[in-house]
Amino acid sequence: MKKLLLILFVVLLSESSYSQVCCGGGVYDVAVLSLNKRALFNVGYKFDNYMGVWDSDNQWRKTSQTTYQMTPTFSGAYRFNKQWQAGVLVPFVINKNDLPGLPVNGSGIGDVVLSGRYEIFHEYTLYKEKDKIKTDKKTPYLAVTFGMTFPTGKSDENANSEIDITGKGFYTTSLGLSFIKTILKDKIQIGSDLSWQHSFDKTYEKYYSESIPSYVRNQGERYNYSVTANYLINFYNSVSLSLGGYYQNSYSINGTSIDNTNENALSIITSYTWYPKTYVRISPLIKWNIPTTGYGKNAIGSTLFGINLVYYLENLEDL
C-alpha cells in the first residue's frame, strides 16, 4: 500500500466562461481552447500533500509520515479549425517524504500526455433564418475527447526506490465526452466530463531495477467522471466547483485478475480564475479528497494546491 503514495496523478483543471474561455473543459483536460483562441501556453505548479490511504475494505488509514509531491507542469494547445484542437502536457515530478529506510527525495520527468478533441457542437453559434441572423441559444457544447499517456516517467520497474517513482509505467489511451450548457448567459454554466482509460499490457523483467522472472501486468480499465459548475463574477473574474472521481477495475497478472484490487476515489475541486487581459489567465485551485471511510478504496487521499498561468494567442480568423 505504501507504494500507492508515490504514483503520479495528472490532474488539470480547465475553467470555461462564455465571455472568455467558453466551449467546454473539465478536471481531466490537458488544455481547452475557445473559438476565439488559436493557441495557448501554460505553466503550472501543484503541491500535493498526502493524508492517508483507503485500504481494500474501504477503511480510511491516516498516515503519520510526511509525504508530498511537487509537480511543475508545462503544457500547450493548438486549434486547427472549428472542430479540431490538440494539446500536450509535460510534468516534472518532485517527491519528498520521511518514510524510514527510504531516501528523503526523488525527482524526474513524469508521464507525457497528448490530448485532442473533436467539437461536435458549440454554444451560441449564429445561423440564418428568413434573411435574419439569429443566435442558437439551445444547443449545448459537446465534444469527443481522446488522448494518450506515454510512460516517460520512472515506474516501479526502473526506479531505484519508491521515492523515485514519477510515472505509472503503462501506455494508456483515453476516450470520452465533454458537455457544457449555459444556464444563465454570461453567469452560470454546468458541465460534465466522462472518459474511459485503457492501459496496455506491460511485461516486467525488473522490479526496482533488480532482475526478476518476467510476467505481464495490466492495471485495469479506468473510468473518470466530473460535474462542474462555473460562475462568471464579471468579465475579469470567475469561480468554479467540481465534483469528480474515478473507478478502476482490478489489475491482472499474466491474464489473471487479482481479487479485491479495484480502486475508486472521490474528490472536490474549487478554483478561482482572474483574467487581467483577454490573453492571460491566472487560476489557483484546491483539490481535496474526503478523508473518511467509504469514500475510496485502494487509493490515496490528499489535499492539492495548484496554480496555472496561461498565455493565449488570439484567433483572428473567422471560424
CATH number of the domain that residue 87 is part of: 2.40.160.40
- Domain assignment present for residue 225? The answer is yes
Within 8 A by CB and 6+ apart from 92, the residues are 71, 72, 73, 107, 108, 109, 110
User: What pLDDT does residue 316 have?
Assistant: 67
Q: Residue 269: what residue type? A: I
User: What is the Cα–Cα distance from 116 to 122, expressed in whole angstroms?
Assistant: 16
- Domain assignment present for residue 319? The answer is no
User: What does each C-alpha distance from 16 to 181, 215, 237 come to in angstroms?
Assistant: 11, 44, 11
User: What pLDDT does residue 31 have?
Assistant: 67
Q: pTM for this structure?
A: 0.87
When divided into structural domains, the chain yields a total of 1
HSE on the CB side for 234, CA within 13 Å?
A: 2
Q: Each residue of 24-79: pLDDT tens digit?
A: 333 334 468 888 899 999 999 999 999 999 999 999 999 877 789 999 999 999 99
- Domain assignment present for residue 74? The answer is yes
Q: What range defines the domain where residue 167 resides? A: 2-314
- Domain assignment present for residue 221? The answer is yes
- Domain assignment present for residue 75? The answer is yes
User: What pLDDT does residue 261 have?
Assistant: 96
User: What is the Cα–Cα distance from 121 to 124, expressed in whole angstroms?
Assistant: 10
- Tell me the DSSP string of 92-144: EEEEEE--TTS-SEEEEE--EEEEEEEEEE-TT-EEEETTEEEE--SPPEEEE
Query: Which segments of the chain have a pLDDT < 50?
Result: 1-30
